[in-house]
Amino acid sequence: MTPPGRRVAVVTGAAGGLGRAIATALHADGWSVLLTDLDPAAVAAAAAPLGGWSAALDVRDEDACAAVAARAADRGDLALWVNNAGVLTTGPSWEHDGPTRRRLFDVNTLGAMNGTLAALAVMRGQGHGHVLNVVSLAGLIAAPGETVYAASKHALLAFSLGTLSDLRMAGYRRVHVSCLCPDGIWTPMLHDRLDDPGAVASFTGSMLTARQVAARAVRLAHRPRPVVSLPRWRGAQVRLLDALPRLAVALTPLVQAAGRAGQRRQHRRSTRPDRR
């Protein structure tokens, strides 16, 4: 059993990529971390060096999220829930069929909503806690080639900030919701997209490592903020473009060219993808 008072964290989509990096960084920071993922064998392997605490979780299942929250609370103080699970599909919006659109929203938006509400059901009872939603810069601006993905992340951002305001209106001052909006991250989500014209938006800025984003997530866990972009200058850049939609649309060819250059640059850097 976790010692009384020890901080407990839940991370979704933790079998690999960013989720595993966040779980590893939290574990190193002294948290007791419950790693969850759709793939039970993969997440058990990821959890083995971190104390071996894992659970299969389909974030689209509201009852399953509630059960994970209750299981985490049984171990101690559920102080942090990280909604990291997500999927990416690229291409023009009209090329996405109905099931594809639903899957993006079911996982990226509704799945994170399920996790948030499951965590808040415990945290509101405790009177404290923190939900950290991994949103992406695509939640701050309409990313060409990733339109439906960006829409799902915009919805998550709106839900997160609205829920934070709802908590304050209800008198919960020590229950927090934060949004982490990183630039493109070199994880398996992008490993096979170096030649994908629909993914150019993810390669237009700083290609981050999972460890860099995980380190920022740990700092955010200690000091909640409504929205944090990584790197900060990219957040300012995309917010400016979002405020000037005519300019943003006019610059689409330049965005495409910058993204293709970024893909070529990343291809040169990585003869073999780093899957840590």
Range of the domain at 263: 7-269
Q: What is the mean pLDDT of the chain?
A: 94
68 in a structural domain = yes
274 in a structural domain = no
275 in a structural domain = no
- Residue/partner pairs of 97-100 with CB below 8 Å, 24 or more apart: 100/148
Catalytic residue chosen out of the listed positions 81, 149, 186, 203: 149
Relative to beta strand 7-11, strand 77-83 is parallel
pLDDT tens per residue, range 89-138: 999 999 999 999 999 999 999 999 999 999 999 999 999 999 999 999 99
For 213, counting Cβ atoms within 10 Å of its Cβ (0-12 exposed, 13-18 middle, 19+ buried), the class is: buried
**Number of domains, the chain:** 1
250 in a structural domain = yes
What's 147's domain CATH number? 3.40.50.720
Please give the average per-residue pLDDT across 250-259, as a whole number.
93
- In terms of Cα–Cα distance, which of 87, 84, 88, 107 is closest to 33? 84
Range list of H helices, the chain: 17-28, 40-47, 62-75, 98-104, 112-126, 147-169, 188-191, 210-222, 232-243, 245-250, 252-269
Rounded to two decimals, what is the model's pTM? 0.93
145 in a structural domain = yes
185 in a structural domain = yes
Active site residue 149: yes
Half-sphere exposure of 51 toward its Cβ, with a 13 Å CA cutoff?
18
What is the per-residue pLDDT for 2? 41
pLDDT tens per residue, range 15-36: 999 999 999 999 999 999 999 9
pLDDT tens per residue, range 76-92: 999 999 999 999 999 99
121 in a structural domain = yes
Asked if pLDDT for residue 275 goes beyond 50, the answer is no
pLDDT tens per residue, range 155-197: 999 999 999 999 999 999 999 999 999 999 999 999 999 999 9
115 in a structural domain = yes
Q: How big is the chain by its Cα radius of gyration, in Å?
A: 18
